[in-house]
Structure 1
């Protein structure tokens, strides 16, 4: 029996291949992990609506960490905790992105807004608060300057899901904080968690988990921080990782 009781999987660039699908081989190994007693769950930057079809495909009833930790779910459809960005913070972020002429987007509970359909008013109705803000920029130097500017404000967690973007949540909120909530819920220690990811928004959970696994296509900082590196998302790297965890 594996010493790991929980397997947290990032989705884009990790579980999902270039066609944004879960391969048949990876599905089979996920079910072998579940059959062995390991709780398999998603820990993703995605909003929960875009996770649903994959949850159904795998038949998961496990907890979820979505929007980089801004939402934690005890099971699909059952919210445990939500962390929000205030309207004032959103005003700051929107101003920074717009000043630099960058593309930007944001998630609320029920909507995705972009620079193309940005709302005139930042105040949100009850039940639909802001959860995450994103900035896309193809110029590395400018992106680094933007990151420094956002971090200097002092109340944001800044990561990325690709080398060309920034993803911004409330300070202290990330996939690791979400996993700690799940561990308390399930009475599991972080040392008993294995986590797979590829981008900087996976870095905190990879370093906090008992076994941090970087994908073969991961950003270099993630590979350096991980305990081990598996195959790429197009080589069924998650399946390879599960096989290692199960000792098969």
Structure 2
């Protein structure tokens, strides 16, 4: 056994393969970690409802971090903490999206997901919703850089991504790392006892602050540079390899 008490797993590009499935190998080694008394948690940009079926598949009754840390769950369906994104900024982000008409955008509330094709009604009623996260997607690098430059000038949001082609905006100070610190307090463990595994910029802070920060073999370069260890890709069961090597070593 290693000295780690908590394994925090990103989902897309990490736990899930390119078909958005949990491989048999990953599932098997997660179960071995759980059997050994190690907590395995999701730490994802996904909302609770889209993460839940995978938690149920693995029979996880463990804490969950969703929406990049805007929600922290004691266990599925039992909420510990939710941090809202101000409607003032959602309005600004939405208006900015509309200025770049080719850009896809989406936003999470506590109850729903809205996007370019299905926006709130009435469209300007931002105050009636409990917002959590806003996102942009465009494969046009110059547009994405303009969006990023504009949002950075506000100095009011946590800016990350979950793929090289998107931007994800959370309330300032909210990240997977801040959520993991909160979780450590609940579990009475230290960040040094955490393994954080991920592939994108929304994983970097957690990877830097955890006892062991792991980048996937398919991770963005900046994530690999921040990590202590680079595992196999998400299609090569990289999560199973981490558990084998660092959690259940020997």
Class of the TM-score when normalised by the shorter of the 2 chains = over 0.9
Deviates more, 1:144-153 or 1:9-18: 144-153
| Deviation readout 1:174-219 (Å, 9 max, x if unpaired) | 1001101100000010010001100001111101101000000000
Residue 52 (structure 1) shift: 1.2
3-state SS of the aligned residue for 1:85? Answer: coil
Aligned residue in 2 for 1:159: 160
Is the 2:108–2:114 Cα contact (8 Å) retained in structure 1? Answer: yes
1:29 is the counterpart of 2:23: no
Q: Determine if contact 1:67/1:132 at 8 Å carries over to the other structure.
A: yes
Q: Offset of 1:121 from its aligned partner?
A: 3.1
TM-score (norm. length: structure 1): 0.97
Whether contact under 8 Å (1:69, 1:177) holds in the other structure is yes
Contact 2:196–2:213 (8 Å) recurs in 1: yes
Two-structure CA RMSD over aligned residues (Å): 1.0
- Structure 2 equivalent of residue 123 of structure 1: 126
Displacement of 1:124 in angstroms is 4.9
Q: Deviations over 1:111-156 (max 9, x none)?
A: 111111112133354xx50110000111112212211211210110
- The match for 1:63 is 63
Contact 1:105–1:134 (Cα < 8 Å) also in 2: yes
Asked whether the equivalents of residues 161 and 168 of structure 2 are also in contact (C-alpha less than 8 Å), the reply is: yes
Q: Structure 1 CA distance, aligned partners of 2:28 and 2:126?
A: 45
Out of 240, 246, 249, the residue aligned to residue 247 of structure 1 is 249
Instruction: Give 3-state SS (helix, strand or coil) of 2:22's partner.
Output: coil
CA contact (8 A) 1:87 1:122 kept: no
Q: Unaligned stretches of 5+ in structure 1?
A: none
Kept in 2, the 8 Å contact 1:18–1:234? The answer is yes
SS at the partner of 1:51? Answer: helix
Compute the TM-score of the two structures, normalised by the length of structure 2. Answer: 0.96
Contact residue 90 and residue 126 of structure 2 kept, 8 A? no
1:93 maps onto 2:112 in alignment: no
Match of 2:143 in 1: 142
**Alpha-carbon distance in structure 1 between the residues aligned to 2:207 and 2:98:** 33
Q: Is the 8 A contact 1:91 1:122 kept in 2?
A: no
